[in-house]
Structure 1
Amino acid sequence: MNLADGVNPLVEVPDMPKHLSREARKEWKRITPLLVEEGLIARMDRSLLALYCQAWGRMAELEAAMNAKIETRVRDHGMSYEAAVEYCFYDVTPKGFTQQAALVNLIRAQAEAVARYAGHFGMSPSQRARITPSSNQPQLPGLEAPAAAGWGRFQK
């Protein structure tokens, strides 16, 4: 085996881990067909894909919590949407200083994790340029690959 030629594992969706949250499971089901279509997933990618999906799920849950907090301020306290966003994004310390809310920091951390894990699967334009899909894709019945003409051969 010549490792300089790259590793081409069989393109295949790994089993979904049972511990994934509801949002993470939704992302797994959404992204795996796209990764298969591009030849960017193999069974060995289960752990990294689980990390990506769980980070995405947590980020979605945190964003939902932030949206609910904002909507509560608008509905129950009569704040404008903009004022509610500002109120929810910042906390005032006991000494009167303004600091970013913990929820905002958690959302940012999850967004960074999502971007980092997504890059491993070529889910950003810059990362796609650096990733080579596996050429070891299963052959489907009735979809035989066309015969290559090869360099220097002429087609009739």
Structure 2
Amino acid sequence: MAKRGRPAIPGQVKVLQGNFRKDRDSHGPSVDIEVPECPKDAPDAIRIAWKKIGPVLAQQGLLSKCDQIPLFAYLDSYTKFKMVTKALETVEDMLEATPNGYQQMSQLVHLRGKYWKEVMDGAKEFGHTPASRSSLKAPNQGQFDFGGFEDI
């Protein structure tokens, strides 16, 4: 299936970017800004990350109860990335021998790259990269005061 242009930008993101237009856009369904409940069967590492990042995202207006699954997926990839990174402390850990005795890159290195990509994709969704943050307009930002020259 071929891609069909750029993905749609949610109305709330357009509000934060400062380019929302009532005549063209909608905010989408109304959701309450809040930290969703962490799944009861989540590992401790995810629970710790959830308590740290959930309130930050909610304070920024980027998290609601319906975001439980994407947040879980993001934090799951992050905690697995950390575990694999810890297992790869030395260069020797990054190499493994084939049955013929040749050295090759460890499968853990490949896993680490996979989890890193998942973490960065999730980070972009939640505004956790400088590039994704730069497109958001902080609530206290307003139009620069031109001192009366705006009417010219």
Once the two structures are TM-superposed, the CA of residue 39 in structure 1 deviates from its matched residue by 1.0
Pick from 10, 14, 26 the counterpart of residue 5 of structure 1: 26
Q: 5+ residue gaps in structure 1?
A: 68-84, 135-151
Q: Where has structure 1 moved over 3 Å in runs of 4 or more?
A: 129-134
Q: Aligned residue for 1:38?
A: 60
Flag the structure with larger Rg.
Answer: 1
Identity %: 26
Whether the aligned pair in 2 keeps the contact of 1:23 and 1:61 (CA below 8 Å) is no
The answer on 1:122 being equivalent to 2:127 is yes
Give the alignment's TM-score, normalised by structure 2.
Answer: 0.67
| Cα distance in 2 for residues equivalent to 1:43 and 1:133 | 22
| Cα distance in 2 for residues equivalent to 1:33 and 1:3 | 31
Once the two structures are TM-superposed, the CA of residue 133 in structure 1 deviates from its matched residue by 7.9
By relative contact order (CA 8 Å, sep 6+), the higher-ranking structure is 1
Whether the aligned pair in 2 keeps the contact of 1:24 and 1:55 (CA below 8 Å) is no
Residue 25 of structure 2 aligns to a residue whose secondary structure is helix
Cα deviation digits, residues 75-107 of structure 1 (max 9, x gap): xxxxxxxxxx22111112122332111111111
Q: Aligned residue for 1:79?
A: none
1:46 maps to a residue whose letter is Q
Instruction: Summarize the Cα distance change of 1:3–1:117 in structure 2 as closer, same or farther, 3 Å threshold.
Output: farther
Whether the aligned pair in 2 keeps the contact of 1:55 and 1:113 (CA below 8 Å) is yes
Q: Aligned residue for 1:100?
A: 105
Total equivalences in the alignment: 118
| Cα distance in 2 for residues equivalent to 1:63 and 1:105 | 11
Cα deviation digits, residues 114-155 of structure 1 (max 9, x gap): 111111110101112345789xxxxxxxxxxxxxxxxx9xxx
Whether the aligned pair in 2 keeps the contact of 1:14 and 1:44 (CA below 8 Å) is yes
1:97 maps to a residue whose letter is Y
Whether the aligned pair in 2 keeps the contact of 1:12 and 1:36 (CA below 8 Å) is yes
Whether the aligned pair in 1 keeps the contact of 2:31 and 2:64 (CA below 8 Å) is yes
| Cα distance in 2 for residues equivalent to 1:22 and 1:2 | 46
1:94 maps to a residue whose letter is P
RMSD of equivalent CA atoms = 2.4
Once the two structures are TM-superposed, the CA of residue 5 in structure 1 deviates from its matched residue by 2.8
Q: Aligned residue for 2:80?
A: 58
